[in-house]
Structure 1
Amino acid sequence: MHVGILGPVEAHSPDGKLSVGGPRPRTLLAVLALRVGDIVPLDRLIDELYGAEPPSDAANALQGQVSRLRRALGDASLIEFHPAGYRLALAPDQVDAHRFASLAAEGQQALEQGDPQVAESLLAEALQLWRGPALADVDAPGHATRLEQQRSAATSALIAARIRLGKADVQEISSLVQQHPLDERLRGYLMQALNQQGRQAEALQAFEDARSLLAEELGTDPSPELRAIHLQILRGQTHRELPAQLTSFVGRQEELRRIASLTARLITLTGPGGAGKTRLALQAAGPDAIFVDLAPVKDVPAAALQALGLKETVLAPEDRLTLALREREALLILDNCEHVIVQAAQLAQHLLSSCPSLRILATSREPLGITGETLCPVPPLKPEQSVALFTDRARLVNPAFVQDQHTVDICRELDGLPLAIELAAARTRTLTTADISARLSDRFRLLTKGNRAAAPRHQTLRAVVEWSWDLLDSDERDLAASLATFSGGATLEAVEQVCRHDIEVLEALVDKSLVDAADGRYRMLVTIREFCAEHKRVDAEHAAYFLDLALRADPELRQRNQVQWFARLTAEHANLMQAVEWATEHDPELALRLVSALSWYWYVKGSRTEVKGVAGKLLARVPEQSTEDYVILLALAAPERMQDALAGLTGPIRRPFALVAWAMLSGPPDPFAPRTELQNEVERSDDPWIKGLMGFSKAYLSWAADGDRPAAIENSRSALRQFQDLGERWGSAQVLDVLATLTEDPHEALALTDEALRAVGELGAKEELAELRGRRADRLLDIDPDEAERDYLQALEMATQAGLAATRALANAGLAKIAQRRGDLARAERLLREAQQELGFGWMHNAAKQSVEAALADLLTELGRTPGA
């Protein structure tokens, strides 16, 4: 028997749904179900059924309703009579409201304990029990309100869990905000969800909407919590969630307490491979930690920039990171440092010495070896923890598993190393613990007689992986070895095309715990991957596949689906870099084509510093040639040589990065210089994106060189149509910004700028967001100085996070103008002097320098001083 009150009141027997009866029998069942298992007093039941005007024979009337309900339920024993009242004789989980409350409480507890995966599962299951408004067909407003409040709390907790997992539904949260517009917690969730999707401009606008509504309706400012989320977004903190964990955390309580008690700013977790250093670091860190996985990378500063969501500029990556972190309290996790130990140590020392509020938690098989480092060894698990871990993992694949003496023996023979224990536990689906114990005993006896000076994982973990390998058939072994070639995991498409096996073989590897499947990707643990890669590699096929992917993706990055394709290449970033590095050594011509195809993706993503090293190696291995691919390689590896190479290039241009790099290095063309064949070829191009770019260029030159506003506006609108027809956000934003400059209507300029901000916000292009925010402030100066000041401060904050010195300088110059108009000339001069110091070399910096120096000259004139004073 099951009773439902989360919706219309219902009762179900094993034979199906029962007809409970009219309003009063339904109300009686609901009241008893609310306190299932407890005796509900007679006067309480009478009050619930009849309210303030009960019948004169209320006790007899109640007894009559009980009789009717018993007949409806078909089992009189379900409603027990006691001298004090009546009792519904069911278990709590047989009433949906009690099951909901239990699941919701467990889910909220899991969320508080840092396990959003489990929390999401429990809370989603709880909310699925609801069929509509609580107690929908009975008159019990007090009970209904209480249940609806519990539902609202569970819904909020579910949203919080999904935000931690990076998969919140913006539309769902927006709908809830519309229903509860003054709920600041929901407003915060909406901002975080938008920010996670790269829609920073919309997230910032959501805060402005909340601030306006709170001021209008309540006369209050946003709460400190909502302002903190706003500040995170302004600083470019996308709050990328730590890697989600699919299993519970077992043991390591002593290590967790030690880490929590340490006051050192650099803590390094040391221990052998498979000891669980990464998992311990993730458990010890708070949800706002910045996670840098160094396992698939060779450039530590570049990897840290990627983790922070930053792109490179003329600044060195270390200086970019310093700009982003020096005024911020943050915890940086540097994971898997051992293969880049020198770089990791150098970066850690640089950041700790220049960012006083930064802490670093590193994992490595050896210490970083720098001053101030505190070591926290991660030893094998204690025997009882090993058994608990084995039992927990075994029950995931075999719910009926019961530990025995063989379990203890297995954990002891595996040295208490978590990875080995988990691999062994996965086999309990098909093997007994006696079989497992006997097999492991044979392996360890063989290996302990080997090289005692070998790496720890080759003394113990190698035996576990080799044992797993022996359980595979020939197809499974071939796929495991081929899949091990991928450094960043693989999609199903990649597995089928590169490894040439069907999904059934892949599923067999997933079932046998040699491959993890999550988010549409298939990955191997590092130790397993290293072992399998010794047997076979498919590097040539891997490189050919990713060349094809890059060639398919490149034109899509400038069309309507560019956001999705950008995300796809980002997911394959490690594999793409691996393919470039392998091809550089073994097939330089393929590498050259791959570098060319990836150049626009790297430019938008901001990975040029990361690829500069391998581009330099490739440059030394390919002959000099007059091709677009070679010019792009020069732009990445030796930009000082690009100008001469361009002189011999005639086109056609296929890769937009060649044009953008050309413009970045050369600046606006000299109208009096002789035209080149390449210029003519570009202008004759049939590529719609290049046509849009040329329209943008003509608009800029019409205004900057000739002052022809009508021609500039016409060219801009034509270019905008070209980009918008393509669905291309980057180009659209550039043209919208030019139109905002050209219009003589200040309100239209603001509207155009806001549209440009929305376009680059969809791409998550932080540099463009910072620059456009600053120009929005410029356009507000004569309309609303207070709002302009807020925009300048936002631009300054975002430019600091993005490492844009020229944008910082222009924002400070704007703030100086406001200070000058308010009569604070000393502050204006200080800001302009700071702006001067920000600027370096390059034509973009020169343009900013002219603006700053003109503003300073004007200020000094007002102060009665000469510009040189």
Structure 2
Amino acid sequence: MRFGILGPLDVRAPDGTPLDPGGPRPRALLTLLLLEAGRTVPAERLIDGLYGEAPPAGAANALQSQVSRLRKRLSLDIGAIPAGYRLAVGPDDVDVHRFERLAAQGGQALTAGDPARASALLHEALGLWRGPALADLPAAFGSHLKEVRLTAAQTRIEAELALGSGAGLVPELRDLIAAHPLSERLYGQLMRALHAGGRPAEALAVYEEVRRVLADELGADPSAELSALHLELLRGREPARGRGVPAQLTRFVGRTDELSRIGALLAGSRLVTLTGPGGAGKTRLAAEAARDRPGVCWAELAPLADGEQLPYALLAALGVRGGFRGPQGDPVGRLIDALQEREVLLVLDNCEHVVDDAARTAGLLLGACPGLRILATSREALGITGEALCPVPPLAAGPAARLFMDRAAAVRPDADLHARVEAVRGICEALDGLPLAIELAAARLRTLTVDELAARLDDRFRLLSRGDRTKAPRHRTLRAVVEWSWELLKDEERELARRMAVFSGGSSGGATLAAVGAVCGVPYPEDLLASLTEKSFLEAADGRYRMLQTIRAFCAERLAGEGEVSRLRDAHAAYFRALAAEAEPHLRGGGQLPWLAGLWAERDDLSAALRHLVRTDARAGLRLMADLSWFWRLRGLHGEHVPLARELLAALGDEPPEGMAEEYVLCVINTVAGDGNDPAEPARLARAEAVLARLDHALRRPFVVVLWSVAHGPQHAVKERVRRQVGEAPWGLALLDVGLGFQEFFAGRPDASEELFARALDGFRATGDRWGMANCLDPLGMFADWRGERERALALLDEGLTHVAALEAPEETADLLHRRAYVLLHQDQLRDAADHFTRSAAMARAAAVPDKVASAWRGLGDVARAGGDTERARAHYEAALELCAANWFSVGETVRTLIGLGRVALAVSGAEEAHDWFGQARALCDGPSRALELADVAEAFASVADDPREAAVLLGAGAGLRGLSLAGDRDTAPVAARAREALSPETYEKAFEEGRAMRSAAVSDR
């Protein structure tokens, strides 16, 4: 028979004939039994569903009569047991259970990266609905299924968006929003669907719609995620998001009281810590508590080797990457910049081994970021004032038994555990109600009966109730559970499990099949890996095999002495050394995206291999660090490895090993933190400069030249040795042209510079390197803008934006948006320019690069000034000035901001105050390296010159230092017009040429 309860009750005979269950009460009774198809439903629940809160006298007898009549009317097998009644039908005979299975499979398929299969499964699942679910029961019974249906619909839409659907989803999303007007996820999906369907303006209008709805209904602003989506759609692509709550593949059981308490605590406290013994389910409880909250970012701390890595792990979890320009200083400061203006729930999972650093960092972030809340899991409290603790005890008897039966059903769906509920409760009691222990035990039902399992537990876990109570809870419980599971493995399974402990854990941990075979020395390990996965010793996802941290630690303890540990770590390091060496040249060509993704997936193991080599084989460690350096720069991972680079450099000494000079220089570069707090840094850089100067041949890694200039400051001369160092390969030659292009640019020869950048672009196009192309298109767009070729400038910059989007480089994207904003400003498109500057600021803030935020604020000041709003302009300039960092690359930003304040003063107060601002800007232009900034200063002074001839000279000086006059510049054009009106053409041209011939020193002294 087939049954449908996703709509009015529908009963069909095997041949499809509809059957009538009878009146309202029989229909309600059958619906209640079908909800738990094949499982026992307590009599109290059936009575409540039939009669509500006021059951009649003799309700139990009335229920028995109803069951008897239903049994006879439809020839159903309804068994009566002391606890209640059970309808003997399979879950797939009932539409609601088919729906839940298909919906879960669809969600898993989407998580696994198969949106086509996800869409098909979810379409099939949602097609089972014929109307409101459980129509024959009170409305409260169907509320949960409504939520599940909505989630399935949203997941199906997510899958179809991933498949490229757009406009076709819009009507459905509009209907869903009408039914669920406060669902931010639906609004976000509608924005993406409209954008994908070629309707970007409507997509942006949806954001304004949800902003109004949330403000009117809840008095709240859109979440950080929806705001980020809005910004990303403005630039034409889907957003890069921080890590959300990890997807779960099993049903959550119990913990209703704890979930309610966490919600209440988070409403009143900004730091809530879940405490309890290992295996108590703190991580899963945190995931469930955070799942439906807006603005969640999940940071898994278990893989961290020490507390120094914690800020970088949080930056990675937030999706904040360091910029290419070089080190960004204090990582906690970057965290504060990234979080300061956001509403975020930050989940810190597994704090216990870095509890002091976690407490210190959490305290700093909470003090500086008013919109931040933290939910932490730890075996001990963080110990911060204002911390709210939520102990997570073992499961009570009822939830523990339900958890066991739920997990057991996945491995033995034919087992009738409801008939053995007392035996199940005995097993859970022996396991102290610890969820991890219960799940591992339930998995054993694949090969054991309940009685065999109970007997083994009696033999193995007597220690759990009689052990030494002074030991840590993990040692009193989980060790025994894992040890018992360990003894159920075959010898060859144990051998592989032990060896796999060498791989890192965590979200990017685990190992590929190739890595397992190479490192563990086990040929054809597929069958053993599958067996270990089935027995819950491994998790398998996306072609990787990962151990839970507890099991990994247990297996590591069983390695046969230091000799085996050393051999495994050597093999592990050798494998990842070879991987990094193979990947390194591909990072500078057309294959850089897949190789970047591959190294990113292995980043924890690459770091672990490097740590091992630094302490055991400095030469090998030096080579691995060199091969990873360009990857770190492209992915913003440099700062994480500064301590390790310093440790390696200390082991190497003051001179490089023979034949490893360029690797040594890269190691020195990786020691630079950029915060000015290391007094030994100048001496190290001087040693590296001497080493680099001796390299008079083509480098194996020509990117050394780039990283050296980033770490050591601006270079304005391409020496002959640099020409030889980059070599004759296409990438190196293109890089050389970039260096020569900047040399000509700083020397005030824009035509020669543009020619070199164009040639470099062709070279990088030939290699397929997106980083190189974007870094050429940026100055080329600038030159076109300077000449007044605005449309060409926009086209060049748009191509650059495409490349940095593929690289997922937020800082470079901020730079290109900033450049594009000035082109729009020069076209008098003030609203669009302001929008670009705003987006640039948001991306720079997300990347925690304050000087780029300052640059965008300066741009907003220029827009406001162009629109005649001097007060707003002044406010933007002052905000920009406060954000300028104390480093060599922000001096130019400070100069131009001071000039902006001077031009505001000129419009409001007069020339005297403006002259003071311009003088401050000129004081920063010390030396030939600041010729371009000095050009802007000269033109600024021209605007306050009393003598028109002096104004012409200064305008000429600006053009000479830059190499040309800026076409259509709104600040210099009126000054030139006034000077020309006051002077004869011959006098003006003579004065202008006099200024053009002046050198920097003469202009500074004028």
TM interval, shorter chain, is 0.7 to 0.9
For 1:819 and 1:124, locate their aligned partners in 2 and report how far apart those are by CA, in whole Å: 52
3-state SS in 1 of match to 2:165: helix
Q: Which residue of 1 aligns with 2:966?
A: none
2:729 counterpart of 1:720: no
Kindly state the Cα deviation for residue 750 of structure 1 after the two structures are TM-superposed.
1.1
Once residues 592 and 189 of structure 2 are traced to their aligned partners in structure 1, the CA distance between those partners, rounded to angstroms, is 20
Query: Which of 768, 783, 787 is matched with 1:742 structurally?
Result: 783
Q: Separation in 2 of the partners of 1:563 and 1:445?
A: 54
Mark the CA change 1:735 to 1:296 in structure 2 (over 3 Å): closer, same or farther: same
1:673-700 alpha-carbon deviations (Å, 9 max, x no partner): 9x352x13135x1332222222222333
C-alpha distance 386-611 of structure 1, shift in aligned 2 (>3 A):
same
- Give the SS at the match of 2:461: helix
Q: Which residue of 1 aligns with 2:433?
A: 416
- What is the aligned partner in structure 1 of residue 319 from structure 2? 309
Letter in 1 for 2:723: N
> How far apart are the structure 1 equivalents of 2:473 and 2:645?
36
Contact 1:214–1:221 at 8 Å: present in 2 too?
Answer: no
* Map of 1:547 onto structure 2: 577
For 2:571, what is the secondary structure of its paired residue? helix
Conserved in 2, the CA contact under 8 Å of 1:124 and 1:158? Answer: no
Contact 1:123–1:158, Cα closer than 8 Å, also in 2: no
- Distance in 1 (CA, whole Å) between partners of 2:670 and 2:890 is 20
Instruction: Please point out which of 273, 276, 290 is paired with 1:268.
Output: 273
Partner Cα separation in structure 2 for residue 130 and residue 158 of structure 1: 7
What's the offset of the Cα at 1:868?
A: 2.8
Which residue of 644, 649, 652 corresponds with 1:614?
644
**Equivalent residues of 1:269, 1:361 under 8 A apart:** yes
Q: CA deviation at 1:168?
A: 6.6
- Identify the residue that residue 201 of structure 2 maps to in structure 1: 211
Q: Offset at 1:405?
A: 2.9
Instruction: Write the deviation string for residues 593-616 of structure 1: whole angstroms up to 9, x where unpaired.
Output: 111111111112111221111111
Aligned residue runs from structure 1 range 784-823, under 5 A: 784-823=829-868
Deviation by residue 1:48-89 (Cα, 9 ceiling, x = unmatched) = xxxxxxxxxxxxxxxxxxxxxxxxxxxxxxxxxxxxxxxx99
3-state SS of 1:620 partner = helix
Could you tell me which residue of structure 2 aligns to residue 692 of structure 1? 734
- Per-residue CA deviations over 1:419-443 (Å, capped at 9, x if unaligned) read 1111111011111222222222222
**Alignment RMSD (CA, Å):** 4.1
Change (3 A) 1:484 1:853: same
- Secondary structure class of the residue paired with 2:163: helix
Q: For the Cα contact (< 8 Å) 1:327–1:355, is it kept in 2?
A: yes
Query: Which residue of structure 2 aligns with residue 493 of structure 1?
Result: 514
Residue type of the alignment partner of 1:747: E
Distance in 1 (alpha carbons) for counterparts of 2:95 and 2:494: 46
Hey, what's the Cα distance between the residues in 2 that align with 1:724 and 1:100?
56
Equivalence map 1:70-85=2 (5 Å): none
Aligned-residue identity in percent: 39
After TM superposition, give the deviation of residue 858 of structure 1 in Å. Answer: 2.8
Name the structure 1 match of 2:166. Answer: 174
Cα distance in 2 for residues equivalent to 1:493 and 1:355: 44
Partner of 2:562: none
* SS of equivalent to 1:359: strand
Q: Which residue number corresponds to residue 20 of structure 1?
A: none
Of the three residues 791, 801, 807, the one matched with 1:757 is: 801
Q: Following TM superposition, by how much is the alpha carbon of 1:387 offset from its aligned partner in structure 2, in angstroms?
A: 0.8
> CA-to-partner distance for each residue in 1:494-542, whole Å, 9 max, x for gaps?
1111112221111111121111111211111111111111122411111
Quote the Cα distance in structure 2 between the aligned partners of 1:774 and 1:213.
Answer: 23
Between the aligned partners of 1:182 and 1:772, the Cα distance in structure 2 is 35
Q: Are the counterparts in 2 of residues 190 and 203 from structure 1 also a CA contact under 8 Å?
A: no
Contact 1:323 1:803 (8 Å CA) reproduced: yes
The residue number in structure 1 matching 2:551 is 528
1:159/1:771 CA distance change after superposition, 3 Å = farther
Moved more, 100-109 or 442-451: 100-109
**What does residue 773 of structure 1 align with?**
817
Separation in 2, partners of 1:38, 1:714:
87
Q: Which of the residues 911, 916, 921 maps onto 1:868? A: 916
Letter in 2 for 1:304: L
Counterpart code for 1:352: L
Secondary structure of 1:415 counterpart? coil
Name the structure, 1 or 2, with higher relative contact order (CA <8 Å, separation 6+). Answer: 1
CA drift at 1:154: 11
1:316–1:568 CA distance, 2 compared to 1 (3 A): same
Give the C-alpha shift of residue 591 in structure 1. 1.3
Return the alpha-carbon distance in structure 1 between the equivalents of residues 464 and 748 of structure 2.
Answer: 80
Please identify, of 601-610 and 364-373, the stretch whose mean Cα deviation from structure 2 is larger. Answer: 601-610
SS in 2 for 1:344: helix
Counterpart of 1:125 in structure 2: which amino acid?
Answer: L
Give 1:499's aligned amino acid.
Answer: C
Q: Higher mean Cα deviation, 172-181 or 530-539?
A: 172-181
Q: Please state if 1:634 is matched with 2:668.
A: yes
Q: 5+ residue gaps in structure 1?
A: 5-11, 16-28, 40-87, 135-152, 196-201
**Residues 447 and 387 (structure 1 numbering): CA distance in 2 closer, same or farther, change over 3 Å?**
closer
Which amino acid in 1 is paired with 2:778? D
Task: Say which of 383, 389, 392 aligns to 2:397.
Answer: 383
Q: Distance in 2 between matches of 1:3 and 1:815?
A: 64
Structure 2: distance between partners of 1:308 and 1:220 = 27
Task: Provide the aligned length of Structure 1 versus Structure 2.
Answer: 758
Rounded Cα–Cα distance in structure 1 between residues aligned with 2:460 and 2:96: 49
Deviation at 1:821, TM superposition (A): 2.0
1:420 maps to a residue whose letter is A
Q: Decide which of 695, 699, 708 is 1:653's aligned counterpart.
A: 699
Equivalent of 1:289, from 296, 299, 323?
Answer: 296
CA contact (8 A) 2:349 2:376 kept: yes
SS, match of residue 868 in structure 1: helix
Q: 1:441 to 1:795 in 2, by over 3 A?
A: same
Deviation for aligned residue 1:721: 2.3
Change in Cα spacing, 1:555 to 1:412, as seen in structure 2 (3 Å) is same
* CA deviations over 1:754-783 (Å, ceiling 9, x no partner): 111111111111111111111111111022
The answer to whether the 8 A contact 1:603-1:657 is kept is no
Counterpart CA distance in 2 for 1:423 and 1:249 is 16
Q: Do 2:857 and 2:877's aligned partners in 1 also have CA atoms closer than 8 Å?
A: yes
AA at the equivalent of 1:283 = E
In 2: Cα distance, 1:109 partner to 1:493 partner:
30
Structure 1 equivalent of residue 488 of structure 2: 471
Q: Cα gap change, 1:284/1:565 in structure 2, threshold over 3 Å: closer, same or farther?
A: same
Please give the alpha-carbon distance, in whole angstroms, between the structure 2 residues aligned to 1:507 and 1:464.
Answer: 21
SS in 1 for 2:257: helix
- Partner AA of 1:704 in structure 2: F
The one of 634, 650, 655 equivalent to 1:604 is 634
- Cα distance between partner residues in 2 of 1:437 and 1:375: 35
The 5 Å alignment of 1:434-583 reads 434-446=451-463, 451-487=468-504, 488-501=509-522, 502-536=525-559, 537=565, 538-583=568-613
Match of 1:828 in 2: 873
Normalised TM-score (structure 2) = 0.69
Please give the alpha-carbon distance, in whole angstroms, between the structure 2 residues aligned to 1:244 and 1:190. Answer: 19
Q: Which range moves more in the overlay, 743-752 or 825-834?
A: 825-834
For the Cα contact (< 8 Å) 2:118–2:156, is it kept in 1? no
**Does the CA contact (< 8 Å) of 1:290 and 1:308 recur in 2?**
yes
Describe the superposition over 1:359-405 as per-residue Cα deviations: whole angstroms up to 9, x where unpaired.
10000111111111111111111011111111111111000221443
User: Residues 615 and 858 from structure 1, CA distance in 2 versus in 1: closer, same or farther, beyond 3 angstroms?
Assistant: same
Match of 1:127 in 2: 123
Counterpart of 1:62? none
CA shift, 1:243, in A, is 1.1
Residue in 1 that maps onto 2:619: 589
The 1:110–1:472 alpha-carbon spacing in structure 2 relative to 1, beyond 3 Å, is: closer
Partner of 2:749: 707
Distance 1:350 1:468, change over 3 A: same
Counterparts in 2 of 1:18-417, with a 5 A limit?
124-125=120-121, 127-128=123-124, 158=152, 160-161=154-155, 170-174=162-166, 176=168, 209-211=199-201, 231-233=227-229, 234=231, 238-262=241-265, 263-287=268-292, 288-297=295-304, 298=306, 299-312=309-322, 313-401=327-415, 402=417, 403-417=420-434
Change (3 A) 1:574 1:408: same
Q: Secondary structure at the match of 1:557?
A: helix
Name the CA distance, whole Å, in 2 between partners of 1:715 and 1:203. 42
